[in-house]
Amino acid sequence: MIQHYDVAAVRKAFPAVDQIVYLDSGFQTPLSRPVKEAYERFLREGFETAGPKQIWLKRLEETRAKVATFLGVKSHEIAFTKNTSESMNIAANALPLGAGDKVLMIYGDHPNNAYAFLNLQKKGVEIVFIPMTDVVDAESFRSHIDDRTRAISMSHVTFHAGHRFDVESVGELCAQHSLYFVVDAMQGIGVVPIDAKAMKATFIGSGTHKGLLVPQGLGLLYWDAARVELEPAYLAAASLAEPPQDFIARPDDMALPATACRFELGNFNLPAVQGLGAAIDFINAIGIENVQRHCFDLGDYLIERLDQLYVGLVGPRDRQHRAPHIYVIALPAADWLDYFTQNGIRVSPERDGIRVSFGMFNTTADIDRLIEAIRARNVPSVQTRTAVLSKLG
Ligand SMILES: Cc1ncc(COP(=O)(O)O)c(C=O)c1O
C-alpha cells in the first residue's frame, strides 16, 4: 500500500492500539500523545497555579481560529458546544419554524440529529423522512420539497453503514429553494475534509471524540454568519454582545453579537478545547487529505479480503459514495461481537452488522488480524450468508 505519510510514526502516538486491534474510531478515538500532553499541561497549570483562566481563554480563541480554518470559515462563525446533540438542538431551535412548516430528513439517520428536529413537532413543525438509500443527493430530496418546506437536516457520513452523502448538491438545492441546511458532521470530521462554504450549510454540528481525537464532552457548531436572523433559544451572559460588567442582568442590554458566541452558554470545557487545538495541529501536520487517502486505501484492502471470503459489505462499496473510514460487515453483531472482543479486536455492533472504522494509525496488519479471525471461525452463519449474498449478486 502507498504510504501517504509515516503511519508507523503516527501509530506510536496512540499506544493503546498496540494492546488491541483497534478498529473502532467511529465509536471513539484512542487517546494520542499530543492530546494527552495538552490535557496534562492544563492539569499542571490548574494544580500548580489554581488556573490561569485568561491564558486558557486565549488558547480557546486560538483553537476557535484553528477549527475555523479546518472548516474553511471565519473564527466568528464557530461556537463551542458540549457535543453533536447540543449543536443540532441549538440549530433546530434557532430556525424560525412554526406550525405548518416542514423539515426534510433521512429515515434512519442518527437519532441525535433526528430527535432535535422531531422535538419541533410540539410547535406544529412537520418532520418528513425521505428513504435512506446508498446514494443521497439533491435528487433524493427535490421531489419532496413543497411550498411549506423550510429546511433539510442530514448527516454527512452515516454511522451505521458508512455512506458519504452528497451534501454539496443538497446545499445547492437548499440555496435554490431558500431552505435552511443543517449538517451533522460528527462521523466524517477529522477524516473527510469539510468545506462548510462549499456545503452551503446554515449550521454544521459535530462532537470531537472521533476523528478529532478528543475525549467526550466537547462539540462544535458552525453558523453561517450571514444568517443574522437566527437567534439562540437559550441565553447566558456569554451569549450577549456586551455582557454586563457589573454582573447585573438588565432587560435592555440583551443585544446579540454578530458572532457564533450568541450560541454559547457559560463556561467551556477548557481542557478539551486545549486538547482539540493540539489534535488539529497533529492532523494538519499529517494533512487531512492524506488521512483520507490512507483510510480509503485501507478500505479497498478490507473490501478485497472480504470478497475473497464471500463476506458482504453493508452500504456503498465505491469511493464516490462511501466514507473512507467506515465499513459495516454483514456478520450479525449478536453472533460476532463477543467473538471479536475475545480475540482482542475492537469493533462496534451496528443495526446491519459489525462496524469496522479506521483511524490515522491503522495498518493493513490490523485488517489481516480481523480477516484471520473471520476465516478461523468458518461457521455456518458465514456460509449461509455467503450463499444468500451470492444469490443476490
Ligand atoms: C452522525 C452522528 N451524530 C451524532 C453522534 C453522537 O452524538 P453526540 O456527539 O451528541 O454524542 C454520532 C456518534 O456518536 C454520530 O455518528
The pLDDT of residue 341 is: 98
User: Is residue 2 situated within a structural domain?
Assistant: no
Count of structural domains, the chain: 2
Instruction: Tell whether 14 and 70 lie within a shared domain.
Output: no
Instruction: Tell whether 130 and 205 lie within a shared domain.
Output: yes
User: Is residue 1 situated within a structural domain?
Assistant: no
Full domain range(s) for residue 245: 34-284
Instruction: Tell whether 151 and 220 lie within a shared domain.
Output: yes
Low-confidence ranges of the chain (pLDDT < 50): 388, 391-393
Question: For residues 11 and 363, is the Cβ–Cβ distance under 8 A?
Answer: yes
In this structure, the residue with its CA closest to atom 12 of ligand 1 is 186
Backbone angles phi, psi at 22, to 5 degrees: -95, 105
Is this model's pTM higher than 0.75 or not? Answer: yes
Considering 284, 315, 340, which residue would you say is the last residue of a domain?
A: 284
Instruction: Tell whether 260 and 311 lie within a shared domain.
Output: no
Instruction: Tell whether 223 and 313 lie within a shared domain.
Output: no
**Ligand 1 centre and the CA of 247: distance in Å?**
36
CB 187 less than 6 A from any atom of ligand 1: yes
The pLDDT of residue 393 is: 43
Question: For residues 128 and 144, is the Cβ–Cβ distance under 8 A?
Answer: yes
Instruction: Tell whether 187 and 293 lie within a shared domain.
Output: no
Considering 258, 284, 310, which residue would you say is the last residue of a domain?
A: 284
Instruction: Tell whether 299 and 278 lie within a shared domain.
Output: no
**Ligand 1 centre and the CA of 84: distance in Å?**
6
Instruction: Tell whether 218 and 295 lie within a shared domain.
Output: no
Question: Strands 180-184, 348-350: parallel, antiparallel or unpaired by DSSP?
Answer: unpaired
CB 269 less than 6 A from any atom of ligand 1: no
Atom of ligand 1 nearest to the CA of 219: 9
Instruction: Tell whether 216 and 245 lie within a shared domain.
Output: yes
User: Is residue 106 situated within a structural domain?
Assistant: yes
Atom of ligand 1 nearest to the CA of 207: 9
Q: pLDDT, tens digit, for every residue of 212-232?
A: 999 999 999 999 999 999 999
Question: For residues 295 and 324, is the Cβ–Cβ distance under 8 A?
Answer: yes
Which three cell numbers mark 162? 458508512
The helix/strand count (H/E) of the chain reads as: 13, 13
Number of CB atoms found within 10 A of residue 269's CB:
21
User: Is residue 38 situated within a structural domain?
Assistant: yes
User: Is residue 375 situated within a structural domain?
Assistant: yes
**Ligand 1 centre and the CA of 60: distance in Å?**
23
Radius of gyration, CA atoms only, the chain:
22
Instruction: Tell whether 74 and 181 lie within a shared domain.
Output: yes
Please enumerate in sequence order all residues whose Cβ is within 8 A of that of 381, keeping only pairs 6 or more positions apart, or say none: 331, 332, 335
The residue to mutate among 156, 167, 186, having the most atoms of ligand 1 within 8 angstroms of its beta carbon, is 186
User: Is residue 278 situated within a structural domain?
Assistant: yes
Here the CATH number for the domain that contains residue 75 is: 3.40.640.10
**Ligand 1 centre and the CA of 135: distance in Å?**
21
Atom of ligand 1 nearest to the CA of 85: 10
Here the CATH number for the domain that contains residue 338 is: 3.90.1150.10
The pLDDT of residue 51 is: 87
DSSP-derived 3-state class of residue 350: strand
Considering 284, 311, 337, which residue would you say is the last residue of a domain?
A: 284
Atom of ligand 1 nearest to the CA of 27: 14
Give the rounded percent of residues in the chain with a pLDDT score beyond 90. 95
CB 350 less than 6 A from any atom of ligand 1: no
User: Is residue 215 situated within a structural domain?
Assistant: yes
Instruction: Tell whether 255 and 342 lie within a shared domain.
Output: no
User: Is residue 150 situated within a structural domain?
Assistant: yes
To the nearest 10°, report the CA torsion of 286, 289, 295, 299. -160
Instruction: Tell whether 158 and 219 lie within a shared domain.
Output: yes
Q: pLDDT, tens digit, for every residue of 268-323?
A: 999 999 999 999 999 999 999 999 999 999 999 999 999 999 999 999 999 999 99
